Amino acid sequence: MIQRITKTILFFLLSIFISCGQKDPNKQIDEGTIKGETYKSSDIGWTIEIPKGWSVISKDHIDSQESKGKEAIEKSSGQKVDMSQLKHLISFQKNQFNLFASTSEPFKEEYPGEYQENSKKLCNMIYQTYIDNKIKTDSSSGKEIIQGLEFNVFRTTIYAPDGKVILNQIMYNRLINGFDFGVNINYNNDEDKKAMLDAFKNSKFTKKFKQ
């Protein structure tokens, strides 16, 4: 069984057609609160402003896309994926190609460095799943500091058969307060990319937190 590698990108892996949220955005999240354009997660100690004109994504559609991503990874890896403890935090979109999603999942390291090992396995699995589904893609990984915290970053570009770029993805993750915290950004233009990156990079994290 694959353990502790379910992540934000899972439910967007092979499906990007998402519908907007319902009238009460707080019914579209598993943890935290939304007041006006502000989302707060007590588990993570994180606050982010939803860009004006962007819509909270319906949890029903998130669950549907997550299931498709889970099936794709299980088919590619030949192993089961446990998503029973995955929580959906805030997810919002401009349209079907430009969207932001965040999740958390409990993670307790059984030995030093386990989290980073799992993060690398996840990136490899994502890339391999695209390849197995005959989706042309390029990827790269690295580190980035956001609000004084170091995040793992995994970037992916997806191409059409004719070589045209159809979608870009950026995945951020790190361990916070005993949770594997992940953010996924899908975009196909620089304006919407900037709106989502600005929202995330200007978001706030509680200064006192556990690694």
Specify the pLDDT at position 16: 43
Q: Is the pLDDT of residue 82 over 60?
A: no
The C-alpha atoms of residue 182 and residue 171 are separated, in whole angstroms, by 7
CATH number of the CATH domain containing 164? 3.40.1000.10
CB 67 within 8 A of CB 15: no
Residue 142 lies in a domain: yes
**Domain of 46?**
8-205
Residue 64 lies inside a defined structural domain of this protein:
yes
Residue 3 placed within a domain: no
Nearest to 3, CA basis, from 76, 69, 86: 86
Segment 173-185 shows an average pLDDT of 93
Q: CA–CA separation, 153 vs 173, rounded Å?
A: 7
What are the pLDDT digits (tens) for 126-145?
Answer: 888 788 878 889 999 999 99
Mean pLDDT of 107-121: 90
Residue 138 region, left (φ>0) first, then alpha (ψ -120 to 50), else beta? beta
Whether 12 has a pLDDT exceeding 90, the answer reads no
pLDDT of 67 > 80? The answer is no
Residue 211 lies in a domain: no
Average pLDDT, the chain: 81
197 in a structural domain: yes
In this predicted structure, the answer to whether residue 30 has a pLDDT above a threshold of 80 is no
Instruction: Give a yes or no: residue 112 inside a domain.
Output: yes
Q: How many structural domains does the chain have?
A: 1
Residue 210 belongs to a domain = no
Q: Which residues make beta-bridge pairs with 92?
A: 56, 100
199 falls within a domain:
yes
